[in-house]
Structure 1
Amino acid sequence: MTTKYRIIELLHKERTGALNAQEQQELTNWLSTSKNATLYQQLKDSASEKEALDRLQAYDTETELAQILGRLAPQQQNKKTNRNWFKVAALSAACLAAAFLLIFPFFKKTEEVKNIIIAGTDKAILTLEDGTIVPLSNFKTTVNDSSGTMRVYADSEGRPVYEYTGTDNNSSGWHTITTPKGGQYTVKLPDGSTIWLNAASKLSYPLNFLADRKVKLEGEGYFDVQKMSVNQATLAPFTVELSGHQVHVLGTQFNINAYKENAQTQTTLIEGSVQISAQGSTSMLRPGQQAIVSSSGPGVIRIQEVDTRSFADWKEGYFYFDEISIQDIMKKIAKWYDIEVAYAGTIPTEKFGGEISRFENLQELLDLLEMTEKVHFKVEGRRVTVMP
């Protein structure tokens, strides 16, 4: 992606209030040049917008921004500046005007925008052992029973976290946290371990968790399992039960994708170590490796090296596509935006690469994908048709 598209993204994020401090500094530095500031003002003025678009299309932003970025502090240069903006290797100059339709509708009335499908949010339900259902949408949610206390609180970023603090080793039964399509949630267990649940997922844990550190997962979850201290050495090992196999954990971070509709389960290790067990076979993973186990096969464990960003992206709040098909992209999008996906015509076989915030509305994400000129979309209600 050329730097002129980076400017497009920065200006778009400014309009939507999504600039972080470093991006604001990057934009401020760009605006420090008088001709850039003039262009910026023209882009806000509908009377001069076309002229400004023509000027930016011919702009030598490569040289301009190279000089600007060179003046930034070294610590700023070392930080990742492209998270939440979509990168496409072969964007043509002809796409520039279309891109600006996303960025500067300053004179469009809000009521003209229809059928906006917003991104997912933090939402889930708790199902107790006795079948009681508790919505986890209120920070004041607190449930007390004989097994311990359950509460919802806000983390440092203001996101809700469900915490279970049960310490009664004699309790029996299981509690279950379920996220719908378009939902995600954070769960904290009595040993300090934290689990982030992706959309359309289910996590179950025993009421006597400290006596049996075992959870069951359907869907997708990112795990940060606490390493036990010396005085906790008597606790049981942490185990994730999946369809047909288990993941045995020490202190580590890893992601598991185990949606029922998939033909295989993927366990991706970020740091630490885990052991995969499947019908008598066992394998150890190193950071950067992924174990693939068939959901219905004989329990064969296949190990491969991967870019972990492709599998931990959602937990960090963005989509990272590493040369994957449009079908795989749409699977991720469908769960997060709670939409139905259909296909019409001959769908291209090209692979797509890039990254974008998970918190853009659906239309903005689809518009960016269309800028590749490889796919197009028709949105009808919550049904999205993918076309060549």
Structure 2
Amino acid sequence: MPRLNMNKERLSYLRLQYLSGNITSADLTELKSLVNNPDLDAGFSDLAEEIWMAPDSDIQPMSADEANDIYLQVTAAAQQKRPVKLWRRLAVAASVILIAGCGLYFLLNKPNAGLKDTPVYAADALPGKVGATLTLANGKQIALGDASKGELAKEAGVMITKQADGKLIYEVAAVDNDHKLNKLTTARGETYQVRLSDGTMVWLNADSKLTYAASLNVNKGPQERRVKLEGEAYFEVTKNKNSPFIVETGGQEVQVLGTHFNINSYADEPLLSTTLLEGSVRVTTAGSAKQAIVLSPGQQALNQQGNVKVVKANLEQVMDWKQGDFYLNHVNFKTAMRKIARWYNVEVVYDASVSDVIEAGGWISRNKKLSEILQSIEATEQVHFKVEGRKIIVFK
């Protein structure tokens, strides 16, 4: 019988090489052999506990409920002889839990690591990129993805420049009360970051539009700082107690003095959501029967045609796009596919066999190709995909 003590140091090395993405094919074969050896299961239980308890920088803190949820997913999948719903975020925890009793399941984090009959699609799509179109007050449009760094234009006494990292910067060059409106638009498959003239930072998700005055409160006076959003954006608002910052969307206004928050106002989503990370905001619905609600950090206002409900926010789920990921754990499958469609600029068509109540699972990077995303989802055996050009057909 193999002795675990002889393999502990080697296994730890191979595990770290695998998680870092630097493992060679020979080492991967050796790792699979060790993990899949039933004679080592008992010893791996002890080793798994040691790794779990050790202060390791590659393990993200999680609650007992989260760990238990992962364990239940894994053990249920092992009993059913089917792949598990483990993507990037779960790989670290799973590589600990799955060392004992579950064989090679944690290696399924990578599409080509141990999967048989990996789906092959007729077409693929690259992930989205940093890019947007800036429309000036005179109608001139600037494709920011193609524009060189440096000064782009001047509007209402404000210099507009593009930095080396692609960020759009508005800087006050001279006081001018002519509030010329600019529009920053991201297409499907684009994201962009802008610093407005008052210092407020805005991250714009794919398929979104932000309309704002170039000289947004350059005098720092008592007037409102008002912008309009279509789609999704995250705001870090510069504090000015005398000048409230107001975000207009199709069905509400969000008013702040200085805070961090996210608004999802896509027209194809059933709910308009406002999520507060820091500070305080007041959400006021549009229409005659106005409803005003003040949010505290960690809360989310869900607005459905003027009816607002406040819930505890899942911040990882809300902020995944800004962090460069898809957080899909316990997310409605069709909601998840709308996120994917916007980022990869594809159309999703559903066969009648696909249920409306399927849940997605896990976490995966938005920097992967579309095929890798679809392969990871197909591994759950809940749905299958056929790709025709920029159309994804989903069937049971």
Scaled by the length of structure 1, what TM-score is found?
Answer: 0.75
Assess if the C-alpha contact under 8 Å between 1:30 and 1:68 holds in 2: no
Q: Which amino acid aligns with 1:290?
A: Q
In the aligned structure 2, how far is the partner of 1:62 from the partner of 1:129? 65
How many residue pairs get aligned? The number is: 328
**1:225 matches 2:237:** yes
Please give the residue correspondences for 1:94-173 in structure 2 after superposition, counting only pairs within 5 Å. 94-95=82-83, 99=108, 102-103=111-112, 115-137=123-145, 138-147=147-156, 148-154=158-164, 159-166=165-172, 168-173=175-180
Assess if the C-alpha contact under 8 Å between 1:169 and 1:209 holds in 2: no
Assess if the C-alpha contact under 8 Å between 1:121 and 1:183 holds in 2: yes
Q: Which amino acid aligns with 2:303?
A: V
**1:244 matches 2:251:** yes
In the aligned structure 2, how far is the partner of 1:263 from the partner of 1:102? 32
In the aligned structure 1, how far is the partner of 2:215 from the partner of 2:15? 61
In the aligned structure 1, how far is the partner of 2:82 from the partner of 2:337? 25
In the aligned structure 1, how far is the partner of 2:358 from the partner of 2:269? 22
1:91 deviation in Å?
Answer: 3.8
Is the alpha carbon distance of 1:79 and 1:161 closer, same or farther for their aligned partners in structure 2, counting shifts above 3 Å?
farther
Q: Which amino acid aligns with 2:300?
A: Q
In the aligned structure 1, how far is the partner of 2:58 from the partner of 2:346? 38
In the aligned structure 2, how far is the partner of 1:190 from the partner of 1:41? 50
Assess if the C-alpha contact under 8 Å between 2:188 and 2:343 holds in 1: yes
Is the alpha carbon distance of 1:78 and 1:42 closer, same or farther for their aligned partners in structure 2, counting shifts above 3 Å?
closer
State the partner residue of 2:67.
none
State the partner residue of 2:302.
292
In the aligned structure 2, how far is the partner of 1:177 from the partner of 1:32? 44
In the aligned structure 2, how far is the partner of 1:192 from the partner of 1:266? 24
Task: Provide Cα deviations, 1:125-155, integer angstroms capped at 9, x if missing partner.
Answer: 100011100111245142232421111114x
**1:360 matches 2:375:** no
Q: What is the aligned-residue RMSD (CA, Å)?
A: 3.2
Deviates more, 1:356-365 or 1:138-147: 138-147
**1:266 matches 2:249:** no
Assess if the C-alpha contact under 8 Å between 2:127 and 2:189 holds in 1: yes
In the aligned structure 2, how far is the partner of 1:119 from the partner of 1:62? 39
Assess if the C-alpha contact under 8 Å between 1:292 and 1:303 holds in 2: yes
Task: Provide Cα deviations, 1:42-89, integer angstroms capped at 9, x if missing partner.
Answer: 6569xxx6x97566444645544443455545x665668xxxxxx765
Q: Which runs of 5+ in 2 are unaligned?
A: 1-8, 17-22, 63-69, 84-103, 115-119, 218-222
**1:67 matches 2:50:** yes
Structure 1 segments of 4+ aligned residues over 6 angstroms from their partners: none
Deviates more, 1:53-62 or 1:348-357: 53-62
Assess if the C-alpha contact under 8 Å between 1:206 and 1:212 holds in 2: no
Secondary structure of 1:353's counterpart equals coil
Deviates more, 1:167-176 or 1:51-60: 51-60
Scaled by the length of structure 2, what TM-score is found?
Answer: 0.73
Pairing partner for 1:306 from 309, 313, 318:
313
Is the alpha carbon distance of 1:79 and 1:55 closer, same or farther for their aligned partners in structure 2, counting shifts above 3 Å?
closer
In the aligned structure 2, how far is the partner of 1:371 from the partner of 1:113? 14
State the partner residue of 1:21.
none
